[in-house]
Amino acid sequence: MRTTITLPRPDDWHLHLRDDAMMRAVLPATARHFARAIVMPNLVPPVVTGAQATSYRARIMAALPDGMTFEPLMTLYLTEDTDPDDVAAAHAEGLIAAVKLYPAGATTNSASGVRDFDRIRPVLERMAEIGCPLCVHGEVTDPGVDIFDREAVFIDRVLDPIRRATPDLRVVMEHITTADGVDYVKSADTGLGATITTHHLVINRNHILAGGIRPHYYCLPVAKREKHRLALRAAATGGDARFFLGTDSAPHTDANKLSPCGCAGCFTAPNTLPILAHVFEQEDALDRLEGFASRHGAEFYRLPVNGDTITLTKGTPEPGPARIDTPDGVVTVFDPGFDLAWRVAD
């Protein structure tokens, strides 16, 4: 039985850091374990230009505690007015690693997202030319489509037509939640990858709704049926390089999570790696954790694998961290529903 795992220092290919006081409070939880992260641009107002990305990156680096090393990989929020030249310049400078597509109204702070996908075609064509990846929140927002079907419908109505019209565009389907998403990624020979979150490997929709509403398990895309969770676990632990870790760690204060219109998001940065070790051990796939957490994402983004390492050790199962205090209020850490035997060594 393995009790120690040493990995190249992992990366998080989908992360929400927020801004200001909240960012200063949650950033150490990521920087403690991860070398790099794709930072989401859905602030208020969103990060839509290269100049705004430069400013946001400077605020992140200023908030990084002394003695910690961390590289934020910036993204731009795609709107119908995005300037292709600005995207190309930011990418050429190494300022941005990707552009993020939010369908308008799909999730937190997505009101400025895209409604008419034809209007973003010039940007997508330029991105294909320069090799800049598109990160996609893959859900339609049509009120006539059931929330549990919105990922599958997005693939058919939006994503597949985009990829057919712009075949050289490199796309990351972020936080996939369905067997449909897994199958679509597997159907592509090149140019398509997908992130899988920690929490979607652990919970299904019963965890949110059965026996009472549990707001801290509410996220978007929402967790689906058990068959979809099992498909995600098989994809994450199967060694396929098209699937890699993107936590979608999304801190909200308890006041906002527990409000009459509660915010979507699970805060998983502090305990992601111990939870993943638990999941991969359950699937008899500890030897594949390195690929999922440390290698596959770097390969897709054409970046080197990190040279430094981290070590996880297995001991007596204990509860994970429950909360962090921020100047904005308490943020509850995702509870996987089991004690954690694995921990990141100091």
Residues acting as catalytic residues: 248
Q: CB of 102 within 8 A of CB of 82? A: no
Q: CB of 253 within 8 A of CB of 316? A: no
Q: Helix (H, G, I), strand (E, B), or coil: what is residue 7?
A: strand
Residue 299's closest CA among 1, 13, 52, 55? Answer: 13
Residue with tokens 């049926």: 225
Between the alpha carbon of residue 1 and those of residues 4, 170, 221, 233, 320, the distances in Å are 9, 40, 36, 21, 22
Q: Helix (H, G, I), strand (E, B), or coil: what is residue 101?
A: strand
* Residues 6+ away with beta carbon under 8 Å from 67: none
For the chain, give percent helix, strand, coil, nearest 5: 35, 20, 45
Q: Helix (H, G, I), strand (E, B), or coil: what is residue 92?
A: helix
Q: Helix (H, G, I), strand (E, B), or coil: what is residue 302?
A: coil
Q: Helix (H, G, I), strand (E, B), or coil: what is residue 126?
A: helix
DSSP string for residues in 179-212: HHHHHHHHT-SSSEEEEE-SGGGT--HHHHHTTS
